[in-house]
Amino acid sequence: MARERFMQHRLALASVFVLATLALLSALAPLLSSYDPERTRLLDLYEAPSGTHLFGTDSLGRDLATRILYGGRVSLSVGVLAVSVAVTLGTLVGMLAGYYGRFVDGVLMRFVDMMYSFPRLFLLILFGVFFKGMTPAVIVIVLGMLSWMTTSRLVRATFLSLKEREFVLAARAVGASDRRIILRHILPNSLAPIIVAATLGVASAIIAESTLSFLGLGIQPPTPSWGNMLRDATSDMEKAPWLAFFPGFFIFLAVVSINFIGDGLRDALDPRHAVKASQVR
C-alpha cells in the first residue's frame, strides 16, 4: 500500500533515480575520472568548461568535475552519517522517555527543550571554532549531536500512544521483557515518522555541512567537499563564475532530490503527519 503510494509520486521516483546516480558517480569517481582530485596543475588555472575539463578547472588547475565527484562522497556521506547518529540518539532518547515516562521522561524532555532552545547555527559555529580544522568524522558527530531532537520527540509520541495498547499489554501479560516489547512491538510501529524525518534530516545536514565549510569552519582543504569548493570559489566569482555555480548546483540537486523523496515517503507512509523541513539560514 505504502509502496504503491510512493510509486505514484513521480517526482519522488525521479529523485530516487537522480540521487542514486549522484551517489553511484561519487562512489565510482576513481573509475570515472582520470584526474587526481588533489593534484594541482599550475599551468591550467581557471580553464573554462570544455571537452577536456567538463566543468573547467579551479584556482589550482584541478579538474572541477572530478572534485565535484569526490566532494560528493564527502558531502553525501557526511549527510547520511550525521543523520544516522542523530536517528540513533534520538530513537534511544525517545524510547526511554516514552516507554518509562514519569521522571525519566521529564528529565529527558527538558533536555530536549534545552537543546531546541539553542540557535543551531550559532552552536555549529561555536563548535566549528572549537574544532577548527574539522575532519569529516567530527562534523558527522557535531551535526548528529545537534539534530537528534526531532526524532526523539516523534519516537516518544508513538511510544506514549502505543504503550497502553492491547497488543503491548498482551505481550507484557505473557511476560515479555521491556527490551522485547520496545524493540519488537513498539519500535516497528514508529518507523514511518522516523524514516520521513531522517530523510529530510539528510537534506538539512548536507546544507549545514556546506554552510559550515563555506564559512571556513568545516572540512579543510585539500579534501574537497561541495561547501569548501564554494568557499574557494568566492574569491574568483568574476574571473571564474563556473567555480561558484557547479558545487552549489550539486548541493541543490542532492538536497532537492532528498526533499522530494522525503515528501513522497511522507505521502506514502504517513499521510497525516507534516514535518517542517528546517533549514539553516
Partner 1 sequence: MKRTLSVFAALAMALAACAPGTGATTASASAKASEAPVKGGTAIVAIWQEPSSLAPHYANQTVSDIVNYGVLEGLADTTTEGEYVPTLATKVPTVANGGVVVKGSKLDVTWELRPGLKWSDGSALTSADVRFTWEIFMKDPKVNNRTGFSEIESIDLPNGLTAVVHYRSLYAPYPRNFVALMPKNLLEKEADISKTDYNRKPMGTGPFKITDFKAGDSITLERNTNYRFGPDKPYLDKMIFKSVPTVEVALAQLKAGEVHAVWNLSASQTPDVEKDAAMALQVVPGPTVERIELNTAVNKENTDPNSVHPVLGDLEMRKALLYATPKQQLIDKLLFGKASPGTSPVSQGWAAYKVPQEGYDPAKASATLDKAGWAKGADGIRSKNGVRASLTYTTTTGDQLRERVQQVLLDEWKAVGVEVKIQNIPSSVLLSGSCASKDPRKLGTFDMVQFASAPGIDPHSTVEPRYSSKNIPTAANCAGQNYTRFKSPEADRAIEAAGATLDQAARKAAYATALKALNDAYVIIWLYDRADIDGRRAELRGWAPNTWQRFTWNIGDWFLKK
Partner 2 sequence: MSRYIVRRLVQALPLLLAISVVSFAILKVTPGGPLAAYEGNPNFTDDDRIRLEHAFGLDRPLPIQYLSWFSGFLTGDWGYSFASHQPVLSLIFERLPATLYLMGTVFLVVLLLAIPIGVLTALKQYSAFDHVVTGATFTFLSTPTFWLGLLLIIVFGLDLRWLPLGGIATSGAPFDVGDRLRHLILPVATIALVQLGSHVRFLRASMLETIGQDFLRTARAKGLGERVVVLRHALKNAAIPLVTIVALDVPELFVGALVTEQIFGWPGMGRLFWDAATRSDYPVLQGILAVSSTLIVFANLTADVLYGYLDPRIRYS
CB nearer partner 1, residue 6 or residue 214: 214
User: What's the rounded Cα separation, in Å, for the pair 189 and 162?
Assistant: 8
Question: Whole-number minimum distance, CB 97 to partner 2, in Å?
Answer: 16
172-211 binders of partner 2 (CB under 8 A) = 203, 207, 210-211
Q: For partner 2, which residue of 76, 149, 187, 244 counts as binding (CB under 8 A)?
A: 244
How many helices (H) does the chain have, and how many strands (E)? Answer: 13, 0
End-to-end CA gap in the chain: 37
Q: What DSSP string runs through 132-195?
A: SSB-HHHHHHHHHHTS-HHHHHHHHHHHHHHTTSHHHHHHHHTT--HHHIIIIIIGGGGHHHHH
Of 32-40, 81-89, 141-149, 202-210: span binding partner 1 (CB under 8 A): 32-40
- To partner 2, the closest distance from the beta carbon of 264 in angstroms equals 12
| C-alpha cell read off for 158 | 508513538
Tell me the closest approach of the beta carbon of residue 117 to partner 1, in angstroms.
Answer: 26
232 binds, among partner 1, partner 2, none (CB under 5 to 8 A by kind): partner 1
Q: At what angle do helices 226-233 and 64-100 cross, to 10 degrees?
A: 130
Residue 222: name its binding partner from partner 2, partner 1, none (Cβ under 5 to 8 Å by kind): partner 1
For 134, 167, 179, 238, the CA distances from 219, given in Å and listed in that order, are 6, 48, 39, 24
**Position among 119, 164, 175, 188 found at the interface with partner 2 (CB under 8 A):** 119
Give the footprint of partner 1 on this chain (CB under 8 A).
38-40, 42-43, 45, 59-60, 132-133, 216, 220-222, 232, 234-239
